[in-house]
């Protein structure tokens, strides 16, 4: 499946029945150098709009919101030792969490890449 995007600048990509979630390149650029990431505990249930993680940069602290409902099944432990991965590879190695979806149809409400690029262009 392709990557989808939220209006809060999270991306989501399906790997089987699990969604990998991170922040977009636009979001990491706005934050600046990321110095700390607080991740949820596996087993935590989230729904769209819930605070799923916190990212702190030299400029600000910001919440990472869950774009979908489900249970956190894994977090990116590498971010604890190297939060700069969020800046270096936001759409890859800098992912935040993996969620087993409770309502897969929620993904359809998120933007595709073209819609997200248009959304960012208007900011």
Assigned architecture for domain 4-103: Beta Barrel (2.40)
Residues 23-69: tens digit of each pLDDT = 999 999 999 999 999 999 999 999 999 999 999 999 999 999 999 99
CA 37 – CA 13 distance, rounded (Å): 20
Domain ranges of the chain: 4-103
Mean pLDDT of the chain: 96
What is 56-115 written as a DSSP string? Answer: EESS-EEEEE-SS-EEEEEE-THHHH-TTHHHH-TTTTT--EEEEES-GGGGGGSB-HHH
């Amino acid at each position: 499946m392709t990557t989808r995007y939220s209006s809060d600048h999270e991306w989501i990509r399906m790997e089987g029945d699990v969604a990998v979630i991170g922040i977009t390149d636009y979001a990491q650029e706005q934050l600046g150098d990321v110095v700390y990431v607080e991740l949820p505990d596996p087993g935590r249930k989230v729904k769209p709009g819930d605070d799923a993680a916190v990212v702190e940069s030299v400029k600000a602290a910001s919440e990472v919101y869950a774009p979908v409902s489900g249970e956190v099944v894994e977090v990116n432990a590498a971010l604890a030792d190297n939060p700069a991965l969020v800046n270096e590879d936001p759409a890859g190695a800098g992912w935040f969490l993996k969620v087993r979806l409770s309502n897969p149809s929620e993904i359809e409400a998120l933007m595709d890449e073209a819609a997200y690029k248009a959304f960012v262009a208007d900011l």
